Every structure is written in C-alpha cells, then in structure tokens.
C-alpha cells in the first residue's frame, strides 16, 4: 500500500504481543509508517479497544480518515479465550500482582462450574478492577491502587453473549467469552471464583475477534514493519 492509502484510511489487524501495551504497538506502527513510507509525523493513527500488556491478540488499528471509525469499531462485540486459576485471588485480578488470598477448591466439580456459567450469561453488573485505566476524580484507578488508596468503584452494566468452558483441569479452567464493549475479563475471573465460593484470577487472555474481524487474519507488529517497502 502507498502513503496515500494509509492517509485515506486503513484498518490494520494486528496480533499484539505479550507484555506490549496497546500504546506501544500503535507507536511502533506509527514510526514504521513514518520512517519507511514517509508519512507525515502528525498523521492520524489509533486503536479501537485497549488490550492489557498481559493479554495478546487482535488489536484494530485505524489510520488516516478511518480514525473516525474508532468509536464504531469499539462498540462491536468481542471474543476472548483464556484461563482462570481457581483457588487464589490477586489485587489486579491477573498476574500483574502477587496472590493475596487462597481459597478451597475441593468442593468444585464440573457440574458446579457449568451451573455457575449460567449466572453470567446476559446482562450483568460488573465492577472494573482497581488496577484499570478508568478515571475517578481525575486520576486513573491503577494510580490509586499503587498508592495504596481504598477507592469505591461503581458497578456498570455489561453483557455476556456467550460463555463456554473449553477445558477443566483444576485449578485451571479454560474459557471462551463473547461480550459487549466495556467488559473486563479480569473482573469476570474474580466474580466467577467468588460465585463458586472460592477465588479466581486470570492467568492468560487472548482477544480472538472484534465484530467480524478475526485474529487469524492479523499480523505481528514486527512482521508488519518488515513488510513495508523501504
């Protein structure tokens, strides 16, 4: 594609690597396009939905005039696969922080797991994790958390369209979820463990779809950079 193609607008399907922030991935693309295709330094580029550094998978990156479509793309349903670790919680609800409490799992069997799934289908109330980028009083929640402050977080409505358990090997449970915008899979992990009178945190997460866009059609950031003509 040419410089003009990117300025007129493209939707790039990127497979975000583990440990990269979404911002880092977009920046890498931006500077590759500037340096290899000669795009102006102020050309527009942005992503349609953040992925945490500890998550991998589909990141939709819009360039040029297509940045106007970001809000529309963010509103589409998303599919994730991943792993819950049952019997322990962490403050961040994932592996960003250390285990802070452990819980029994002897009472948990396949029947209880599948019965619990039903509680989370449809519209649910969910509290975002304290380790998240949402702002309260002008400050991001994770900044409050790292400062050791206790913050009351309001719950919000979200919708789980599909929730499938794909592997049970306690203490691990693999899942596939299709959900609405604004759903925190880390919160789902925490709430799922709590609903089984235990604890849980997220140990792996991959975004596989956004609307009709599929991670199978995505390209690694570095491979994209290499594919650009010098």
Candidate list 5, 15, 52, 191, residue with the active-site label: 52
* First-to-last C-alpha distance (Å) of the chain: 12
Are 183 and 126 in contact by the 8 Å Cβ rule? The answer is yes
Distances (CA, A) of 190 to 77, 91, 127, 206: 21, 10, 10, 17
DSSP category for residue 125: E
Those residues whose C-beta lies under 8 Å from the C-beta of residue 205, and which sit 6 or more positions away, are 52, 54, 55, 56, 57, 80, 81, 82, 83, 94, 185, 186
Backbone angles phi, psi at 4, to 5 degrees: -65, -40
Task: Answer yes or no: 220 catalytic.
Answer: no
Q: Which residues are catalytic?
A: 52
């Amino acid at each position: 594609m040419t410089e003009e193609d990117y300025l007129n607008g493209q939707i790039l399907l990127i497979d975000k690597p583990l440990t990269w922030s979404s911002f880092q991935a977009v920046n890498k693309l931006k500077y590759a396009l500037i340096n290899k295709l000669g795009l102006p330094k102020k050309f527009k580029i942005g992503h349609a939905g953040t992925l945490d550094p500890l998550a991998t998978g589909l990141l939709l990156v819009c360039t040029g005039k297509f940045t106007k479509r970001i809000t529309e793309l963010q509103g589409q349903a998303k599919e994730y696969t991943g792993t819950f670790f049952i019997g322990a919680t962490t403050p961040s609800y994932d592996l960003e922080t250390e285990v802070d409490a452990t819980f029994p799992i002897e009472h948990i069997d396949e029947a209880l797991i599948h019965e619990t799934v039903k509680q989370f289908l449809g519209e649910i109330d969910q509290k975002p994790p304290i380790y998240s980028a949402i702002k309260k009083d002008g400050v991001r929640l994770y900044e409050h958390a790292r400062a050791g402050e206790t913050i009351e977080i309001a719950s919000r409505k979200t919708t789980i369209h599909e929730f499938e358990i794909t592997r049970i090997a306690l203490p691990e449970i693999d899942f596939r979820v299709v959900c609405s915008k604004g759903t925190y899979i880390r919160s789902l992990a925490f709430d799922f463990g709590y609903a089984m009178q235990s604890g849980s945190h997220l140990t792996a997460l991959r975004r596989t779809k956004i609307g009709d866009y599929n991670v199978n059609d995505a390209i690694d950031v570095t491979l994209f950079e290499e594919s650009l003509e010098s």
